[in-house]
A and B are shown apart, each in its own frame.
Chain A
Amino acid sequence: MLKIVTAVISRDLKLAMRRQADIVSALFFFIIVVSLFPLGIGPEPDLLRKLAPGVLWVAALLATMLSLPRLFADDHRDGTLEQLALSPYPLGLVVTGKVIAHWLVSGLPLALIAPVLGIQFDLSVDALLVLTGAILLGTPALSGIGAIGAALTLGLRGGGVLLSLLVLPLYIPVLIFGAGAVDATVAGLGGEGHLSLLAALTFASLGFAPWATAAALKIALE
């Protein structure tokens, strides 16, 4: 069972490493969007501290969206997706592998760069730590839920826009708990409650989303 997951992860990571431009541009998108906010709202540290969690999280959602359309589209175009669907393993496991690989190249870099961007917003060390933890915990759910949308819109005209329309509303709980964790830390309340809910969301969506995605892929491949 694990064999297919690791096989898919290692293949997708190898592909991503040979196309690093994609990872880097999503990351720069994140950095630029976050850096634009202080320019739009002014440099008062109090205001920035208050806005930081929401801004960073919304930017993280959008940056994740950027790479989603290609999650299955490339494999679909060159026929590899068919071969993956014909693998003797359940398709849900293949999708799990692809979701994990997607997170490693999209969510993880966001979490690593987030504390640096948090400094721009004058966040305290505690808040920075919670921010990193929240993005680490929450972004796998984004990859998982996003995969459903990517599979549903596979091969459609205007698939990218449609994908955001479908997926962004489903991201709301992650946004609320993710930003809430940092908010609560800034307010001195402690973000543990939010973080554990975020972890629960991630586990639930990683358990459920790959199978819904597999069903959507089968529909798309008919």
Chain B
Amino acid sequence: MKDRFNLYRFASPATFYPLAGRLIPWFTALAVIFGLAGLWIGMLVAPTDFQQGEGYRIIFIHVPASWMSMFIYLVMAFWAAIGLAFNTRLSGMMAQALAPTGALMAFISLWTGALWGKPMWGAWWVWDARLTSELILLFLYIGYMALTAAIDDVRRADKAGGLMLLVGVVNVPIIYFSVKWWNTLHQGSSINLTKSSMATTMLWGMLLMALCFWMYSIAVALVRARSIMLERERHTDWAKALLTGDEK
């Protein structure tokens, strides 16, 4: 890790590839540990909610997934900005590697939201501001993936995708506030998701699950980045050496 501050060296795929390979098992292990601890607290330790019964326990998945879906989009936009500013090869690959995980998180968030909504609100779907924004976020992820998939030239795909991400990041707050405003106009007193003060154990459970999702996202993103990298760089010396020599 002595090269930590040398961005260009770190950003070179030949350095990144083996480094990522060494990191993946650690992140996977952490994801499993945090996940088990979080589930244990969430499912067994945390008290049953007096209003919502056992059904509320889905928030231990729902809330971390929503956080991650938003956070991953920001991270992708960060990589996009780096990529467009410094023209580094790694950034585009990272953004593309993160996209499916981000979309998955948005989808999980919507799905668990619907599962939770049915007993809570009596409907699978309500046009709640947060749920609607999450849906739009999923659309943005899908748009990004469709755009990068449609462009054959990887350089152009990275740049165009990056620009789309930045446009999205500028728009996400505007979309969020407009949806929120629209929602309050149309629903009057809307349903408030987090009105009860959360018990400390619940907070811990959620925190652990969030860490688990975080580690999981890093691990899968690294795996995906490694395969994207190998595919794109298969003509370079280091990739050839790797493919013909020992699989490290």
Q: Which residues of A contact B (CB under 8 A)?
A: 148, 152-153, 156-159, 162, 165-166, 168-170, 172-173, 176-177, 180, 201, 208, 212, 215-216, 219-220, 222
Contacts and interface: CB of A to CB of B under 8 A. Distances in A.
B163 A219 contact: yes
A219 B143 contact: no
B89 interface: no
A159 B149 CA distance: 12
Given A157-B150, A158-B150, A180-B185, 18 more contacts: A148-B163, A152-B147, A162-B143, A162-B150, A165-B139, A165-B142, A165-B143, A166-B164, A169-B140, A170-B168, A173-B178, A176-B179, A176-B181, A177-B178, A212-B166, A212-B167, A219-B163, A220-B156
Nearest to B151: A156
A179 B238 CA distance: 57
B55 to A, nearest CB: 31
Contact of B163 (A159, A173, A216): A216
A157 B147 CA distance: 10
A148 B163 CA distance: 9
A176 B150 CA distance: 30
A184 to B, nearest CB: 8
Contacts, number: 67
Interface in B155-173: 155-156, 159-160, 163-164, 166-168, 170-171
Contact of B160 (A170, A172, A208, A220): A220
Contacts of B179: 172, 176
A156 B84 CA distance: 21
A152 B163 contact: yes
Contacts of B150: 153, 156-159, 162
Contacts of B171: 170, 173
B120 interface: no
A192 B206 CA distance: 43
Contacts of B26: none
Contacts of B146: 162, 165-166
Nearest to A166: B143
B154 interface: no
B70 to A, nearest CB: 15
Given A156-B150, A162-B150, A219-B156, A169 B175 contact: yes
A50 B151 CA distance: 42
A148 B161 CA distance: 12
Contact of B136 (A148, A169, A201): A169
Given A148-B167, A220-B160, A162 B147 contact: yes
Given A162-B147, A170-B167, A176-B179, A219 B160 contact: yes
Given A153-B150, A166-B143, A219-B156, A172 B178 contact: yes
Contacts of A152: 147, 160, 163-164
